[in-house]
Amino acid sequence: MRRLALLLMCLCLSFPVLAADAASGERKAVFGDVTVHYSAFTSSMLQPAIAASTGLDRSKNQGVLNVAVIKTGKPAMAVVSGTVKDLTGRASPLSFRQIIDQGSVYYIAQFKIDQAQTLIFDLNVETGGVSHPLSFNQQVFPGE
């Protein structure tokens, strides 16, 4: 009986995560042979050493947007730019930095998280002289 209760509790706690993944699908956009993977999270989730090595501020009120570009199955260089805005339309530019780590290429930018809210990310990913616009919404929460 105790195992059953533990299993039910775990399922209840994981359901919102599973529902969010089902609703949003995989966090990627495909443009022909170019695939753009993206994720946004609170920077307080980063290990201190990783935050320091990438020059990111670790804070419960700072988010990180991580973008990776894959072209024909291999990491690709790109120019990534964009803005983040709240539902009232107040926009802030995103300043991306390139991180190269063990053959992988990432583009990271930080943004403020003042409160639990839905943010709209409008990005432009340019690779090989071709621009790929990308827009997505994500609910964010200040960290612990």
pTM (2 d.p.)? 0.79
Condensed to tens digits (0 to 9), the pLDDT of residues 26-63 reads: 899 999 999 999 999 999 999 999 999 999 999 999 99
CA dist list (Å): 132 to 6, 19, 74, 128, 135: 46, 28, 17, 11, 10
What's residue 118's pLDDT?
96
CA dist list (Å): 46 to 41, 43, 62: 9, 6, 11
Give the amino acid at 55.
G
Give the amino acid at 107.
Y
What's residue 144's pLDDT?
60
Condensed to tens digits (0 to 9), the pLDDT of residues 78-123 reads: 999 999 999 999 999 999 999 998 889 999 999 999 899 999 999 9
Which residue ranges form the domains of the chain, and what is each CATH number? 26-140 (2.60.40.3340)
Is the pLDDT at 6 greater than 50? The verdict is no
Q: What are the structure tokens assigned to 120, written together?
A: 């709209």
